[in-house]
Amino acid sequence: MKNILGNALTVTLFGESHGVAIGAVIDGIAPGVEVDREYIAAKLSLRRPSGKISTARREMDEYIIESGVYDGKTTGTPICILIPNADTHSKDYSALAGKARPGHSDYPAYCKYHGFEDARGGGHFSGRITAPIVAAGALIQAALKRKGIYIGTHISRLAGIEDAKMCPERDVSALEMVEFPVLDSEAGERMHAAILEAREDLDSVGGVLETAVVGMPAGVGEPWFDTVESVLSHALFSIPAVKGVEFGDGFALADMKGSQANDPYRVENGKIVTTTNHMGGIGGGITNGMPIVFRCALKPTPSIAKTQQTVDFVKGENTDMTINGRHDPCIVHRARAVVDAIAALTLADLLTVRYGTDWLAQ
Amino acid sequence: MKNILGNALTVTLFGESHGVAIGAVIDGIAPGVEVDREYIAAKLSLRRPSGKISTARREMDEYIIESGVYDGKTTGTPICILIPNADTHSKDYSALAGKARPGHSDYPAYCKYHGFEDARGGGHFSGRITAPIVAAGALIQAALKRKGIYIGTHISRLAGIEDAKMCPERDVSALEMVEFPVLDSEAGERMHAAILEAREDLDSVGGVLETAVVGMPAGVGEPWFDTVESVLSHALFSIPAVKGVEFGDGFALADMKGSQANDPYRVENGKIVTTTNHMGGIGGGITNGMPIVFRCALKPTPSIAKTQQTVDFVKGENTDMTINGRHDPCIVHRARAVVDAIAALTLADLLTVRYGTDWLAQ
Amino acid sequence: MKNILGNALTVTLFGESHGVAIGAVIDGIAPGVEVDREYIAAKLSLRRPSGKISTARREMDEYIIESGVYDGKTTGTPICILIPNADTHSKDYSALAGKARPGHSDYPAYCKYHGFEDARGGGHFSGRITAPIVAAGALIQAALKRKGIYIGTHISRLAGIEDAKMCPERDVSALEMVEFPVLDSEAGERMHAAILEAREDLDSVGGVLETAVVGMPAGVGEPWFDTVESVLSHALFSIPAVKGVEFGDGFALADMKGSQANDPYRVENGKIVTTTNHMGGIGGGITNGMPIVFRCALKPTPSIAKTQQTVDFVKGENTDMTINGRHDPCIVHRARAVVDAIAALTLADLLTVRYGTDWLAQ
Amino acid sequence: MKNILGNALTVTLFGESHGVAIGAVIDGIAPGVEVDREYIAAKLSLRRPSGKISTARREMDEYIIESGVYDGKTTGTPICILIPNADTHSKDYSALAGKARPGHSDYPAYCKYHGFEDARGGGHFSGRITAPIVAAGALIQAALKRKGIYIGTHISRLAGIEDAKMCPERDVSALEMVEFPVLDSEAGERMHAAILEAREDLDSVGGVLETAVVGMPAGVGEPWFDTVESVLSHALFSIPAVKGVEFGDGFALADMKGSQANDPYRVENGKIVTTTNHMGGIGGGITNGMPIVFRCALKPTPSIAKTQQTVDFVKGENTDMTINGRHDPCIVHRARAVVDAIAALTLADLLTVRYGTDWLAQ
């Protein structure tokens, strides 16, 4: 299905970093969902580069809703969100043509698109293409909040520095709109310092984002092949830089005993819960009513100013390259808005499959 | 798409652990693919429980090809593989009705299917349902080998014990048909001992499987949303017990600098390669011609003989339970055949999208 | 999507006429739907050849439900219906190898499958493959009836002989289980005579089936591209022999004025209705609450005993051929059960998309 | 899949008649396809209202390619085509709110969207939404022509007046760019007169479009459920006003004998052909190398200036209405460009499935 995500509620993505515009089409949304333009703008600003820890490229992300919204509410027909490109410095990139930036998609893209790809600024592979995902996700996330479903993410690890442990019920709402989302502000300061240090070194750093979703009804998802883990990971691995995804205790579960890993069930206030949540709210691929918890590993930004060994794939010969231009020494904090958006879109899709096309606005 | 995996080459899965039969339908396969029944049987035997480290349930997995194969070759029309169930001891499970086995799907399944699910032996959620996936995957994997694409998996970690590091080009073929696939036989013996010890303790252990694919052409996959990571993880997270998936150096990349993580390109013998493979053969969601490398974290088997706290979800009250019956103290080695099958099916689907419906037999 | 029909409620089809078995997998059905085995058998018998107006091949169509049904009700997991093949006389067909039977799929199939297709008895193209569709459709149709949605079909035209006009509300239930469904029994007798006459002439006849669906809620379907007409015609044109599909007054609308064709709305007993139904219950691709009415044109059976001009497509030379074996001089009456099944499956899919996965059993 | 058409080559449609813009996203197109902007503009002008036989609404259809095209060629990533709306007279429609225009989607849309739909000018149901389909189709049709595949359509019937019979090989190219496509110019004049007469009568007329495709390779399509007829009809029935679709001799086949309907095969100039083409180039759902021939029945335009009986569906009461504003007395000739576009998109999708993602530009 290529550039289309979802089954009942879909998002079609388009655009290149230095093209005319980028955008997304949301299809299958319930009619009557309130569209909060301020909220969407606020989410876009969380993704936008800002300050010294980001690229100097200034993206205003002024978005236009071309269709599907009338009198401030969704009509139920497709919503096209368009973000015109601006402040594109294509000349920065022209010297790179034919040279494979290490860690970037240039060479695999060339193998797929035979040189017809718009390589300027990463083209369709650019992290910039996540902006319409954020806008689309924000529209949906606001609707999920009205249904009692809350999504929040913190930087659980950056450059080897750990944040405090998240308590989903307590933290998700508080985290949602924080620009640099950490629970331990002192750890956050050290992370900032590590980013600036990497920038000084003409280098970059990566990290881990941990997300929790509170309020998902039990009984959503499928045993095969659309487990909640399957559809979430499918979407999350589309985010550039994500190279690992785990649910609940994830890789740590591999070292546990069954007696440690199994979450005991209890009845609490008339509701069935588990006393631990090693499984991250999902059993047999289906939600069990506990918070959904997952983590994404993000590799360090590949665009670094150090000189690197590479090839000219058109000429087929070895070369060196130094990538100038404006780069992010870290995109972990910016990726957070994308992860939240992806979670909102994916879960809303599963809910629409389960409860029908009117549910989100009911 | 629920119980259907894939876009151009699809697998539809059906069956319950204690029903009449389980099976899969492969659709979209090229006509003229040789069907090696011995190879399929050998793959099924790798998944089958055997010896003291597995459940005592003896599954013969005699499979019937009901359609789609003629004169030993695929016709190009759908292949139904049916595996009749046998040796089902449903009475072992009847006492459990309404009780949520911790770590199992019983309670989420009840929330989804309202009590109409066939809960015997895990029903449609049973690990047994992976047998037809293995058969379908084996048929495809044999075809991929003829095209020069090799898949191999080892147990990189079990109960905290690490295997030696894999070298894909050297190891994948050697690993393919080993029953307990490790590179370091001494580590393998300690893993065996750990499994038997868990069994003695009425407990279970988990582990990590590492898979490599050698020979994939560069330029396969999509930037959004069908990245190679996306479609592989989607399928892998359908395997019961998988709670984490990572590509290349995965979570370890989060702690690296860009200058460490970026794989330098070089021309070697006229071919473009990377001198390291931290990205696991995938850049921008697309294959770059290097070996694809990924790891799956498997939680310990949830069926343990220890008494556990739980609830009766029909009555809505707390209870204790002891799960009798025949259980696996570890399924990591058995899951290996499933992971290989899933990799074969998923990559063949991407290749079919890319090169058309005849490619696999050309 | 090849051999898979539907979005939320899917049917995957497999099997060849002279292979081991044929069958279908229903996925996405609500849990708790009662499975009436007698009703399914009765529907299969309507499709089965019988008497002098059909082929002499006796198909018992004993079907096995391999999965997805427990205690007489659907579990909500995939239902595999298997029909073993019997009474296959493959030798009747062996002389035809390489010869393109006119009006049959032999030659296009050869172009697609390169000679690997199982050509015996039409293989995967055989009308016999509709039997599992009928079984799957019957299971769903019974569920739709419990929800107040009724489907009925009559032979509106056969060999140029017209049946009386259908009044949906009055006729659909009465027609459902009649073996040779006509409203005017005298016309029915003339149709019978025409079939027998064609058989005498070593020839065959075609006809038109008209179907009505009563009780569909208004507001189901999509403007683009899943209009009710789109999804119904997609499925109906899969039935071998169907070469035309029209809704409401269909092709006759092309000759009308807007003032004649527009159905005036009125309030009747507090319900909004149209006083005519030229549109066949669908406006803008969406149901309007009036009966859905459509007609399928079925070409005459291509297997005729007359000698015909053709080619040997392997040798690439002209030849003549006489098709022996057992053939139907008419399949219009047998196709009726397939049309009803296709209507049930397609509409249930649209309803599942609209109202969610539990709706059919609620 | 709602507003998305296709499997390997998809089109996602968005927009409302009186919204900001309408558009389409093409995904899955081969990289390196030349984009002929003049050709696209010419096709759009064929769809555009013009002269006395169309609505007085002047639509310029200036289209913007927002993405996916670089240096005049497709990049292989999604192409967003945007057409800003202009000359919208929403006040013409405001008096109609709550009143169901007979023959229009107002009432079924209200049942589906609960009053949140943008009803102005038909909103997302407007015939205007076909403009981006035409643009997308034109881009593809030009590519098909370079591969030797030609599509042409004539008005075979309008207001009961018949055009001459089409000979595909001779006529398709000649017809392609004619504004009012008929083979018999005298019949064309009578059709014109009938349209003007209907306009005088405050009424409208319908007709039949016949399309042929020359040059399709044999062996494309699927037996179930993606027959060429299935996927074409699915797409064609999305065009507003289409209420019937037939292939080859279509409904006339129902009255033929098998010996008349079967197309005899012959070898001609070393190529296998049929001496007649009653089947319209499709056998068993698969192309046989002969021209594909199909016809669409278009109902008369529902917007007529005569006073009509209807209901106010919000108030639930009977009323009369007179539709003012600018209307088409006939849209058959304008729909031609849409039918050609739909044929191009659908066949290119089937070809992409069959031959892979590079084929269209090879």
Nearby residues of A200 by Cβ (< 8 Å), 6 or more positions away: none
Q: Do B301 and A258 touch (CB under 8 A)?
A: yes
Task: Please state, as a whole number, how many other Cβ atoms lie within 10 Å of the Cβ of residue D38.
Answer: 8
Closest C-chain CA to D10: C225
The pLDDT value given to residue A58: 64
CA distance A262 to A268: 18
Percent over 70 (pLDDT), chain D: 95
The pLDDT value given to residue C88: 62
The pLDDT value given to residue B59: 63
Whether pTM > 0.95 for this model: the answer is yes
Query: Which one-letter DSSP state was computed for residue C295?
Result: E
User: D348, D140 in Cβ contact below 8 A?
Assistant: yes
CA distance C143 to C215: 13
Of A12, A27, A76, Cβ closest to residue D27:
A12
Which residue in B297, B289, B32 sits closest to B143, CA to CA? B32
pLDDT band at D121 (very low <50, low <70, confident <90, very high): confident
Mean model confidence pLDDT for chain B: 94
Which residue in C28, C67, A227 sits closest to B16, CA to CA? C67
D38-47 average pLDDT score: 95
Q: Where are the beta strands (DSSP E) in chain D?
A: 4-5, 10-15, 21-27, 64-65, 69-70, 73-74, 79-84, 150-158, 161-162, 207-214, 242-247, 265-268, 271-274, 282-283, 286-287, 292-298, 307-312, 317-322
What is the nearest CA distance from B7 to chain D, expressed in angstroms? Answer: 8
- Residue spans of alpha helices (H) in chain D: 37-47, 91-94, 106-113, 130-146, 168-175, 185-200, 228-236, 258-261, 332-355
Question: Contacts of residue B261 in chain A, CB cutoff 8 Å?
Answer: 103, 206, 299-300, 302
User: D104, C283 in Cβ contact below 8 A?
Assistant: yes
Question: Contacts of residue A64 in chain D, CB cutoff 8 Å?
Answer: 20
Which residue in C232, C240, C185 sits closest to C211, CA to CA? C232
Q: Which chains are adjacent to chain A, needing at least 3 Cβ pairs under 8 Å?
A: B, C, D
Question: Contacts of residue B238 in chain C, CB cutoff 8 Å?
Answer: none
Of B243, B284, B318, Cβ closest to residue A253:
B243
Q: Residue C299 CA to chain centroid, in angstroms?
A: 13
Could you tell me the sign of the dihedral formed by the alpha carbons of D113, D117, D123, D124, in that order? negative
Residues in chain B: 362
Of A208, A264, A302, Cβ closest to residue B254:
A208
| Integer angstrom CA distances of residue B302 from A278, B59, B305 | 12, 20, 10
Q: Do B103 and A230 touch (CB under 8 A)?
A: no
Q: Which chains are adjacent to chain D, needing at least 3 Cβ pairs under 8 Å?
A: A, B, C
CA dihedral B74, B77, B81, B82 (to 10 degrees): -140
The pLDDT value given to residue B94: 62
Q: Do A103 and B220 touch (CB under 8 A)?
A: no
The pLDDT value given to residue C94: 62
- For strands D282-283 and D150-158, give the pairing: unpaired
Question: Contacts of residue A82 in chain D, CB cutoff 8 Å?
Answer: 66, 80, 82
The tokens of D126 are what? 């407007």
User: D182, D163 in Cβ contact below 8 A?
Assistant: yes
Choice among A16-30, A48-62, C3-17, D71-85 with the minimum mean pLDDT: A48-62
The tokens of A299 are what? 């590799």
Instruction: Choose the mutation target among B77, B112, B126, B133 for the interface with C, i.e. most C CBs under 10 Å.
Output: B77
Choice among B52-66, B187-201, D178-192 with the minimum mean pLDDT: B52-66
The pLDDT value given to residue D92: 55
Q: Domains in chain A: how many in total?
A: 1
Question: Contacts of residue B318 in chain A, CB cutoff 8 Å?
Answer: 266-267
Interfacial residues of A (vs D; Cβ cutoff 8 Å)? 1-4, 10, 12-16, 19-23, 25, 27-28, 31-32, 64-68, 70, 73-80, 82, 112-114, 116-118, 123-124, 358
What is the nearest CA distance from A362 to chain B, expressed in angstroms? Answer: 20
Of D23, D66, D114, Cβ closest to residue A15:
D66
Q: Do D359 and B354 touch (CB under 8 A)?
A: no
Percent over 90 (pLDDT), chain B: 88
CA distance C264 to C249: 15
| Range D171-181 burial, b when 16+ CB lie within 10 A, else e | bbeebbebebb
Instruction: Choose the mutation target among A299, A309, A312 for the interface with B, i.e. most B CBs under 10 Å.
Output: A299
**Preceding peptide of D237 cis, ω within 30°:** no
| Integer angstrom CA distances of residue A326 from A22, B4, D38, D174 | 20, 44, 38, 54
Which residue is associated with the tokens 């883990």? A229
Helix axes A130-146, A37-47, angle to 10 degrees: 130
User: D243, C281 in Cβ contact below 8 A?
Assistant: no
pLDDT in tens, C77-93: 999 999 999 866 656 55
pLDDT in tens, B269-286: 999 999 999 999 999 999
Which residue in D61, D254, D44 sits closest to D139, CA to CA? D44
Closest D-chain CA to C155: D254
Of C8, C223, C359, Cβ closest to residue A353:
C8
Q: Do C248 and D246 touch (CB under 8 A)?
A: no
| Integer angstrom CA distances of residue B318 from A140, A289, B98 | 37, 17, 11
User: At A40, which helix (H) or strand (E)?
Assistant: helix A37-47
The tokens of D324 are what? 């003012």
The pLDDT value given to residue B57: 65
The tokens of A274 are what? 């588990």
C223-239 average pLDDT score: 97
User: B188, B126 in Cβ contact below 8 A?
Assistant: no
Percent over 70 (pLDDT), chain B: 95
Q: What share of chain C is helix, strand, coil (3-state, %, to 5)?
A: 35, 25, 45
What is the nearest CA distance from B71 to chain A, expressed in angstroms? Answer: 32
Of B27, B79, B116, Cβ closest to residue C4:
B27
Range among A316-325, D21-30, D300-309 rated most confident = D21-30
The pair phi, psi for residue C294, each rounded to 5°, is -145, 160
User: D242, D332 in Cβ contact below 8 A?
Assistant: no
Phi-psi region at B180: left, alpha or beta (left = phi > 0; alpha = psi -120 to 50): beta
Closest B-chain CA to C33: B116
Question: Contacts of residue B359 in chain D, CB cutoff 8 Å?
Answer: 356
What is the nearest CA distance from D216 to chain B, expressed in angstroms? Answer: 17
Residues in chain C: 362
The amino acid that residue D200 corresponds to is: E
The tokens of D161 are what? 């007046």
Closest A-chain CA to D81: A14
Q: Which residues of chain A register pLDDT less than 70?
A: 1, 56-60, 87-96, 326
When comparing pLDDT for B314 and C52, which is higher? B314
Of B7, B354, B356, Cβ closest to residue D354:
B356
Nearby residues of B359 by Cβ (< 8 Å), 6 or more positions away: B30, B351, B352, D356
B75-89 average pLDDT score: 89
| Integer angstrom CA distances of residue C82 from A3, C132, D222 | 36, 7, 22
Choice among A57-71, B13-27, B291-305, C108-122 with the minimum mean pLDDT: A57-71
CA distance B12 to C14: 11
Query: Which one-letter DSSP state was computed for residue A222?
Result: -
Range among B204-213, B303-312, D298-307 rated most confident = B204-213
CATH for C120: 3.60.150.10
What is the nearest CA distance from A354 to chain C, expressed in angstroms? Answer: 5
Mean model confidence pLDDT for chain A: 94
Instruction: Choose the mutation target among C33, C80, C352 for the interface with B, i.e. most B CBs under 10 Å.
Output: C80
The pLDDT value given to residue C56: 67
Give me the total of CB pairs closer than 8 Å, taking one residue from chain A and one from chain C.
21
Interfacial residues of A (vs C; Cβ cutoff 8 Å)? 7-8, 77, 223, 353-357, 359
What is the nearest CA distance from A77 to chain D, expressed in angstroms? Answer: 7
CA distance A166 to A95: 45
The pair phi, psi for residue C287, each rounded to 5°, is -65, 145
Domain that holds residue D65: 4-361
CA distance A234 to A262: 26
| Integer angstrom CA distances of residue A75 from A36, A349, D16 | 14, 17, 10
Closest C-chain CA to B68: C15
pLDDT in tens, C263-294: 999 999 999 999 999 999 999 999 999 999 99
Asked if the model's pLDDT at residue B81 lies above 80, the reply is yes
pLDDT in tens, A55-79: 766 666 799 999 999 999 999 999 9
Instruction: Choose the mutation target among C357, C360, C362 for the interface with A, i.e. most A CBs under 10 Å.
Output: C357
The tokens of D47 are what? 């769809």
pLDDT band at B288 (very low <50, low <70, confident <90, very high): very high
Closest B-chain CA to A155: B254
CA distance A60 to A135: 13
What is the nearest CA distance from B135 to chain A, expressed in angstroms? Answer: 16
Instruction: Choose the mutation target among B227, B355, B359, B362 for the interface with D, i.e. most D CBs under 10 Å.
Output: B355
User: D211, C248 in Cβ contact below 8 A?
Assistant: no
The pLDDT value given to residue C92: 55
Mean model confidence pLDDT for chain D: 94
Which residue is associated with the tokens 């980001």? A54
Task: Please state, as a whole number, how many other Cβ atoms lie within 10 Å of the Cβ of residue B93.
Answer: 20
* Burial grade of B52 (CB within 10 A; 0-12, 13-18, 19 or more): exposed
The pLDDT value given to residue C327: 80
User: B99, B312 in Cβ contact below 8 A?
Assistant: yes
The pLDDT value given to residue D93: 59
CA dihedral A320, A324, A329, A333 (to 10 degrees): -120
Interfacial residues of B (vs C; Cβ cutoff 8 Å)? 1-4, 10, 12-16, 19-23, 25, 27-28, 31-32, 64-68, 70, 73-80, 82, 112-114, 116-118, 123-124, 358
